[in-house]
């Protein structure tokens, strides 16, 4: 059992932070790795990349958006409640290397995944420019954390309610026009990563993205998380979750992510009725 020691609601209650006791995972986890959580014995298995780890306290922190029944069940857990299972650390850690100037771009809850990677890229000696975005000011998360993790932070909102008005891709284009960048790391909604990778390809800048396909076992056995990268089939859980952004078949990934949308919607609606 894995106890929740801290719970926060962010982005008007649509995004939840849980700090969870998991000392063995906290000790071993590296930036970019993920865990699979189950709230109950028969609950849905949900993969989430860790936003923070604290090996001294023996805790890991996950941040997730409530999008269906599985995450709604998580949302209803309070401090002192437990997750039945937390499995990890899973996936390959981020490759960390001093390359020079790096831009870390995050959208929505992707900012939570990006945070430990940004901090680690700074710690190995890179100059790190961070660009984060959300639909509006109220939905922006971890601004202070990203400020501390980077040398320079740019904030964008789609509606202009905070920071620069517009998408993170526009802010990134300005940076690429004015600076010599060696690496871009982009994490967020699939369309954001797709368009951002198209942009960095124009400027011939290496780009890493972190993918979030449907997963089941998380250990390379079920094939549920398969993605096409450079024309080859890869399993995001063991070959990723990070891949060369210029090689990913984003359209296929979006189609596969939509496969169970109707069933998920129905499950969520039933759960909301039952738990009302
Ligand atoms: S989740 Fe089953 S192979 Fe990756």
CATH 3.40.50.80 applies to domain 101-257: yes
Strands 152-157 and 127-134: parallel
pTM for the full predicted model? 0.92
- Please, is 7 exposed, middle or buried when counting C-beta atoms within 10 Å of its C-beta (0-12, 13-18, 19+)? middle
Q: Which residues on adjacent β-strands are paired with residue 47?
A: 36
Q: How far apart are CA 91 and CA 85, in angstroms?
A: 17
**Residues with Cβ within 6 A of ligand 1?**
215-218, 220-225, 235, 237
Contact of 54 with 102, CB cutoff 8 Å: no
Picking from 117, 82, 122, the residue whose alpha carbon sits closest to that of residue 98 is 122
**Closest Cα to atom 2, ligand 1: which residue?**
222
Q: Let me know: does 158 contact 133? Beta carbons within 8 Å.
A: yes
Tokens of 6: 């801290």
| DSSP at 16 | E
Pairing of strands 101-107, 127-134: parallel
pLDDT the model gives residue 270: 84
Listed by start position, the domains of the chain span: 2-89, 101-257
User: Pocket of ligand 1, candidates 216, 227, 233, 259: which has the most ligand atoms within 8 Å of its Cβ, to mutate?
Assistant: 216
Instruction: Give the per-residue pLDDT at 175.
Output: 97
* Under 8 Å between Cβ of 115 and 149: yes
pLDDT score of 245: 98
Closest CA to 245 of 203, 187, 178: 187
- Going from the Cα of 145 to the center of ligand 1, the distance in angstroms, rounded, reads 31
Burial 60-86 (b: 16+ CB within 10 A, else e): bbbbbbbebbbbebbbebeeeeebebb
Ligand 1 centroid to residue 236 C-alpha, Å: 7
Pocket test for ligand 1, best of 35, 224, 233 (most atoms within 8 A of CB): 224
Residue 211: which of 191, 232, 236, 229 has the closest Cα? 236
Q: Give the CATH H-level superfamily of domain 2-89.
A: Translation factors (2.40.30.10)
> How would you write the pLDDT of the chain (276 residues) with one tens digit per residue?
999 999 999 888 889 999 999 999 999 999 999 999 999 998 889 999 999 999 999 999 999 998 888 899 999 999 999 999 999 999 999 999 999 999 999 999 899 999 999 999 999 999 999 999 999 999 999 999 999 999 999 999 999 999 999 999 999 999 999 999 999 999 999 999 999 999 999 999 999 999 989 899 999 999 999 999 999 999 999 999 999 999 999 999 999 988 777 888 888 888 888 877
């Amino acid at each position: 059992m894995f106890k929740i020691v801290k719970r926060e609601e962010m982005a008007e209650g649509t995004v939840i932070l849980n700090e969870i006791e998991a000392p063995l995972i906290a000790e071993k986890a590296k930036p970019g790795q993920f865990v699979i959580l189950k709230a109950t014995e028969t609950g849905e298995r949900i993969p989430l990349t860790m936003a923070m780890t604290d090996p001294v306290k023996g805790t890991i922190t996950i941040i997730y958006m409530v999008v269906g029944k599985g995450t709604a069940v998580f949302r209803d857990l309070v401090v002192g409640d437990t997750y039945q299972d937390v499995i990890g650390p899973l996936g390959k850690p981020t490759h960390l290397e001093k390359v020079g100037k790096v831009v870390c771009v995050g959208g929505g809850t992707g900012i939570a995944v990006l945070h430990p990677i940004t901090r680690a890229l700074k710690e190995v000696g890179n100059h790190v420019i961070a660009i984060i975005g959300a639909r509006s000011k109220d939905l922006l998360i971890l601004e202070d954390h990203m400020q501390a993790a980077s040398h320079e932070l740019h904030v964008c909102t789609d509606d202009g309610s905070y920071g620069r008005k517009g998408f993170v891709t526009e802010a990134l284009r300005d940076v690429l026009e004015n600076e010599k960048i060696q690496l871009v790391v982009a994490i967020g909604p699939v369309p954001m990563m797709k368009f951002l990778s198209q942009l960095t390809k124009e400027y011939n800048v290496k780009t890493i993205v972190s993918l979030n396909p449907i997963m089941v076992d998380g250990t390379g056995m079920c094939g549920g998380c398969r993605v096409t990268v450079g024309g080859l089939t890869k399993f995001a859980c063991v070959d990723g979750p990070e891949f060369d952004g210029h090689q990913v078949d984003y359209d296929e990934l979006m189609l596969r992510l939509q496969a169970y949308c109707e069933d998920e919607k129905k499950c969520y609606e039933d759960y909301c009725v039952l738990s009302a």
